[in-house]
Amino acid sequence: MTGLEVRIDEKRFNGKVVLRGLEFTARPGEFLALVGPSGTGKSTLLNLISGLDHNFTGSVSWDGETLYMPGESPSQLGMMFQEPRLMPWLSTLDNVRLVSQSRDASVVRNESQVTARAVELLREVGLGDNLNTWPGQLSGGMQRRAALARAFMVSPRLLLLDEPFVSLDMPTGNRLRESLLALCQRQRPLVLYVTHDLREALAVADRVLFLSGPPARVILDYRVELAHPRQLEGPAVAQLQQTLSAQYPDLLSGLIEISLSSEGDSPQH
Ligand SMILES: Nc1ncnc2c1ncn2[C@@H]1O[C@H](COP(=O)(O)OP(=O)(O)OP(=O)(O)O)[C@@H](O)[C@H]1O
C-alpha cells in the first residue's frame, strides 16, 4: 500500500516488553495523533519508525517497501522533539540550514537555495526578525518555532513529532499548532504526533490512535470528523471529549491534561 504500515510484534528493553502486537497503517497526507499514558512507549515507537532503533520484531513499511536496513532512516524524514535541540553556537538561521547537510540534502541543492528556503520557513513560523539571533536569546516558544522550521527543511514526506509543544502556555501552544497545520496543509506530509493530551490530539489530528498501558498496542483508532480551524477549548472538541469519556472511561483516565507553564513567546533576557 502507499504510505506507512507498522507492525511491531514485540519491542523489549532489557527483557521487559514495552510494545506488543502494535499495528496500524496510515496514508500520505494523514495527520495521526498517538495518545497514551505516560511511559507506555510512544517515544519508543517513534524511534522504531524513524529507524533510530531497529532492535525489534515485526516490520515497518513505507510505500510497500520494508524499511530499513540497520543504521538507515527513511528519506525526507522530519522530526521534532520535546526539547528544541538547537545548537547554541549557531544562529537561528544556521540551525535551520544545518539540516540540509544531511543526506536528505537532495531536496535543496545549493547554498543560496538552502538559505532562501530556511529564511522562508523561519518567516513562515514568525521568526523572520530573528535570523541572526542565538538560540539562548530566544524564548522557549521561539525555540520551538525554530525547531518546527527545521523539521520542514527536508520537505518531509514523513513527519514525526514527539510532544513538540509540551509545557508551553496555551496561547503560545495554539499559535505553534496553527503554524504546524498551515505548513502541513501546504506540504501534506504524513504526520505522527505524540501527545498525552487528548484535547490537543482532537484539535490537530484526522485520526487519534489510543495506545494501551504497557505493553502498548493500539486499542482504538478514532477518526476526528471536525473541520479546521479547531480550538483546543472549542465546544465541538469539548463535546467530542465528553462523548469519548462516556464511551471509553477506562481508556481516557489520566489522558486529559493541559500543561500550564509560564514559558511563552517573549525573549529571555
Ligand atoms: N533506552 C532505554 N532503555 C531501557 N528502557 C527504556 C529505554 N527507553 C525507554 N525505556 C522504557 O520503555 C518504556 C517506554 O518509554 P517511552 O519513553 O517510549 O514512553 P512514552 O510513552 O514516550 O513516555 P512519556 O509519555 O512519559 O514521554 C518505559 O518504561 C521506559 O522506561
- Tell me if 43 CB under 6 Å of ligand 1: yes
As a whole number, mean pLDDT of residues 229-234 equals: 77
67 and 175 both lie in a single domain: yes
163 and 237 both lie in a single domain: yes
Q: 3-state SS string over the chain?
A: CCCEEEEEEEEEECCEEEEEEEEEEECCCCEEEEECCCCCCHHHHHHHHHCCCCCCEEEEEECCEEECCCCCCCCCEEEECCCCCCCCCCCHHHHHHHHHHCHHHHHCCCHHHHHHHHHHHHHHCCCCCCCCCCHHHCCHHHHHHHHHHHHHCCCCCEEEEECCCCCCCHHHHHHHHHHHHHHHHHHCCEEEEEECCHHHHHHHCCEEEEECCCCECEEEEEECCCCCCCCCCCHHHHHHHHHHHHHCHHHHCCCCCCCCCCCCCCCCC
Is residue 242 situated within a structural domain? yes
End position of a domain, from candidates 112, 138, 156: 156
- Tell me if 267 CB under 6 Å of ligand 1: no
Is residue 81 situated within a structural domain? no
Closest C-alpha residue for ligand 1 atom 1: 13
178: domain CATH number is 3.40.50.300
Please give the tally of structural domains in the chain.
Answer: 2
The pTM is what?
0.88
- Tell me if 110 CB under 6 Å of ligand 1: no
Q: ipTM value, please give it.
A: 0.97
- Tell me if 18 CB under 6 Å of ligand 1: yes
User: How far does the centroid of ligand 1 lie from the alpha carbon of residue 39, in Å?
Assistant: 5
Residue 224: which domain range? 1-74+157-269
* Tens-digit pLDDT profile for residues 3-49: 899 999 999 999 999 999 999 999 999 999 999 888 889 999 999 99
Least-confidence region, from 68-72, 176-180, 184-188? 68-72
* Tens-digit pLDDT profile for residues 144-166: 999 999 999 988 999 999 999 98
* Tens-digit pLDDT profile for residues 76-122: 889 998 888 999 999 999 999 987 655 544 554 688 888 999 999 99
